[in-house]
Chain A
Amino acid sequence: MKIVVCLKQTFDTEAKITINPDGKINDQGVSLIMNPYDEFAVEEALRLQEKNGGEVTVVSVGGAKAQDALRQALAMGADKAVLVTAELAAMDEYSTATILAKAIAGLEYDLIIGGFRAVDDGSAQVAGRVAEILGLPVVNVVTKLEVADGKALATREIEGGSEVVEVPLPAVITAQKGLNEPRYPSMKGIMKAKKKPMEKKDPAGLGLDAAAVAARVCALEYFLPAPRAAGKIIPGEPAEATAALVRALREEARII
């Protein structure tokens, strides 16, 4: 069974976000990690491989540093990596998905897995777009996955409950927290990772010209949320304080 995992390198979830004078997000000195949802995807692919045999290929579109996230996936146990470096002035979900789909189209696959969203822009669009471009079914926010006889049985989160969906392979699955507990790379895995193939490409090499991958969406402005105001302590006897609290929730906060 051949499995492709799409992964993205993102800011560390504890990184402090600041905005440069030019209005762009400052990425200098920020520590980068593999998108945590993509870690679930890598782990699931490795478990399926351990059970059914086959090969796991990890693919990323990003800057040269995205190599670190791919190397981590190789250290966890993936077999090979493809890095498409796209140094475009602006990219959106369309650009990324177009490049990813083209890179994946050149690979053999029975299953494509990715995180259901990235923790940085949180758009949750890329995997779905890849499925659309490749003409594959997609099951999102999956918390349990079984694969047998050319089919995938996926349990996904829906409002107020779960839904079990069956799709024929090949298909695209997006991972939600709860799907599994990702392993730490082993020391032997880290040593082996360097020797595993890491193929490097760019959009032109994939046959995509600049117009084909140009962003369709343009971010006009980035701004930080207003700093949270200090909390308010309502003094007094419990009965009076409760009455004052209810009044404040109703009249000031207007939430009840």
Chain B
Amino acid sequence: MIFKLSEEQELLKKTVRDFAESEVAPKAAEMDENEEYDWSLWDQMAEMGLTGIPFPEEYGGAGMDNLSYAIAVEELSRVCASTGVLVSAHTSLGSWPIYHFGTEEQKQKFLVPLAEGEKIGALGLTEPSAGSDAGSVKLTAVADGDEYVLNGTKIFITNGGRADIYVVIASTDKSKGHRGTAAFIVEKDTPGFTFGKKEHKMGIRASYTYELVFENCRVPKENMLGGDGKGFKVALATLDGGRIGIAAQALGIAQGAFDQALAYSKIREQFGKPISANQGLQWMLADMATRIDAARLLVYRAAYLKDEGQPYGKESAMAKLYASECAMWVTTKAVQIFGGYGYTREYPVERMMRDAKITEIYEGTSEVQRIVIAANLLK
């Protein structure tokens, strides 16, 4: 095994870190406070090619691998988890299914502007009664002439409201259960497609989470993605890859909180010495660093397997499970190291702790990850 990034991956890591620290970090606290994203950052990321990292150049992407993509999400999340999930949901959930399941026409029409960052992507899967149970979606799509008519609602949609292109999972034949589902590409401003309420969240507050409402929304038949009956398959395959993005986000949050806590422990003095001189605190730092490193190896392995064209469903679930629980644990310790200051909004660690929690929930809770892992072990 070779535990070494390539020259390109090293340069990407350095470049994204520079960008994140210089451009994103100064805005992170304010964006969180106001629940508003500064979209000039998106324009900068599009300019740099961070909006289509793992897609081939012919489709507007950077032609890099999935490991590079994971590293970029990690570095962005290290300073701002909302920016991390913006890129992750756009890339893994909104763009990847079109890249993987789309026809050449669909790729030219939708993937190219997504990868170039001219448009933003999102996935519409979750419903009030269908989250990880992707087969029980109630949103219906009924064929009518050259179109499908969509009716129903989606909730908790990351990048909702702001995204231009949505991959929406619908039921085309309720009697067939998950075999009666299909994915559709729906553009913002399609008549009958509106946004419901915006969620006000504990963390990733600069990420937009909306309800999508479809009322007799007519979508052209050529916007069906992956074929009729394949909606469930599109959803599950997308989530397998999406988990790498969320695992990378969790890893970045953990690293960011650790870097803050380590630096603080060296300058904060109590009883005439830096608090890092206390062994109790040193052990905390050692455990934090060790868990982060383990999480990183799991995340990078999952991305590597995907790049190698090998199965990665189990490994991406392991990475997502471990990295998200690591992020929650590490950020809690980081707040502890900062003491009373850590509990205030003067320092970023309380934001990181709030941001970490969602990584244990979305794109499959920790419990669902364990189900996925066990199902792979027992099959």
Task: Give me the interface of A with B, judged by CB distance under 8 Å.
Answer: 68, 71-72, 75, 184-191, 193-194
Instruction: Establish whether residues A190 and B47, one from each chain, have CB atoms under 8 Å apart when the complex forms.
Output: no
- Complexed CA–CA distance, A191 and B8 (Å): 7
Q: Knowing A71-B7, A194-B7, A194-B8, say if A188 contacts B15 (CB, 8 Å).
A: no
- Complexed CA–CA distance, A68 and B11 (Å): 8
Give residues 331-353 of B contacting A (CB, 8 Å): none
Q: Looking at the complex, which one of A72, A187, A193 makes contact with B64 (CB distance below 8 Å)?
A: A187
Residues of A within 8 A of B62 (CB): 186-188, 190-191
B63 within 8 A of A: yes
B33 within 8 A of A: no
- Complexed CA–CA distance, A85 and B204 (Å): 47
Instruction: Establish whether residues B15 and A191, one from each chain, have CB atoms under 8 Å apart when the complex forms.
Output: no
Look across to chain A and name the residue whose beta carbon is closest to the beta carbon of B60.
A188
Instruction: Establish whether residues A187 and B7, one from each chain, have CB atoms under 8 Å apart when the complex forms.
Output: no
Residues of B within 8 A of A194 (CB): 7-8
B50 within 8 A of A: yes
Instruction: Establish whether residues A186 and B57, one from each chain, have CB atoms under 8 Å apart when the complex forms.
Output: no
Residues of B within 8 A of A68 (CB): 7, 10-11
Secondary structure call for the B interface: helix
- Complexed CA–CA distance, A72 and B57 (Å): 20
Classify chain B's interface size. Answer: 20 to 34
Instruction: Establish whether residues A75 and B7, one from each chain, have CB atoms under 8 Å apart when the complex forms.
Output: no
Q: How far is the CB of A231 from chain B (nearest CB, A)?
A: 15
- Complexed CA–CA distance, A68 and B8 (Å): 10
B289 within 8 A of A: no
Residues of A within 8 A of B19 (CB): 184
Residues of B within 8 A of A71 (CB): 7, 11
Instruction: Establish whether residues B15 and A184, one from each chain, have CB atoms under 8 Å apart when the complex forms.
Output: yes
Q: Knowing A71-B11, A190-B11, say if A184 contacts B18 (CB, 8 Å).
A: yes
Task: Give me the interface of B with A, judged by CB distance under 8 Å.
Answer: 7-8, 10-12, 14-15, 18-19, 44, 47-50, 53, 57, 62-64, 68
What 7 new A-B contacts, CB under 8 Å, besides A184-B44, A187-B50?
A: A187-B48, A189-B49, A190-B8, A190-B11, A190-B15, A190-B62, A190-B64
- Complexed CA–CA distance, A81 and B14 (Å): 20
- Complexed CA–CA distance, A187 and B16 (Å): 10
- Complexed CA–CA distance, A184 and B50 (Å): 11
- Complexed CA–CA distance, A186 and B57 (Å): 13
Residues of A within 8 A of B44 (CB): 184
Q: How far is the CB of B28 from chain A (nearest CB, A)?
A: 18
- Complexed CA–CA distance, A71 and B18 (Å): 16
Instruction: Establish whether residues A188 and B8, one from each chain, have CB atoms under 8 Å apart when the complex forms.
Output: no
- Complexed CA–CA distance, A71 and B8 (Å): 9
Instruction: Establish whether residues B11 and A186, one from each chain, have CB atoms under 8 Å apart when the complex forms.
Output: no
A-B contact pairs, 25 of them (CB 8 A): A68-B7, A68-B11, A71-B11, A72-B14, A75-B11, A75-B15, A184-B15, A184-B18, A184-B44, A184-B48, A185-B11, A185-B48, A186-B47, A186-B49, A186-B62, A187-B48, A187-B50, A187-B68, A188-B57, A188-B63, A190-B62, A191-B8, A191-B57, A193-B8, A193-B11
- Complexed CA–CA distance, A194 and B14 (Å): 16
Which among B7, B11, B14, B44 has the highest number of chain A CB atoms within 10 Å? B11
Q: How far is the CB of A116 from chain B (nearest CB, A)?
A: 22
Look across to chain A and name the residue whose beta carbon is closest to the beta carbon of B15.
A185
The 4 closest A-B pairs by CB, nearest first: A187-B62, A187-B49, A186-B49, A186-B48
Look across to chain B and name the residue whose beta carbon is closest to the beta carbon of A31.
B14
- Complexed CA–CA distance, A75 and B19 (Å): 15
- Complexed CA–CA distance, A127 and B10 (Å): 30
Residues of B within 8 A of A186 (CB): 47-49, 62
Q: How far is the CB of A111 from chain B (nearest CB, A)?
A: 26
- Complexed CA–CA distance, A184 and B17 (Å): 11
Residues of A within 8 A of B50 (CB): 187
Instruction: Establish whether residues B53 and A187, one from each chain, have CB atoms under 8 Å apart when the complex forms.
Output: yes
Q: Knowing A71-B7, A194-B7, say if A187 contacts B12 (CB, 8 Å).
A: yes
Instruction: Establish whether residues A191 and B48, one from each chain, have CB atoms under 8 Å apart when the complex forms.
Output: no
Q: How far is the CB of A242 from chain B (nearest CB, A)?
A: 30
Q: How far is the CB of A198 from chain B (nearest CB, A)?
A: 11
Residues of A within 8 A of B14 (CB): 72
Q: How far is the CB of B67 from chain A (nearest CB, A)?
A: 13
Look across to chain A and name the residue whose beta carbon is closest to the beta carbon of B72.
A187
Look across to chain A and name the residue whose beta carbon is closest to the beta carbon of B53.
A187
Residues of B within 8 A of A191 (CB): 8, 57, 62-64
- Complexed CA–CA distance, A73 and B137 (Å): 50
Residues of B within 8 A of A189 (CB): 49
Q: How far is the CB of A194 from chain B (nearest CB, A)?
A: 6
- Complexed CA–CA distance, A189 and B49 (Å): 9
Q: How far is the CB of B63 from chain A (nearest CB, A)?
A: 5
- Complexed CA–CA distance, A230 and B68 (Å): 45
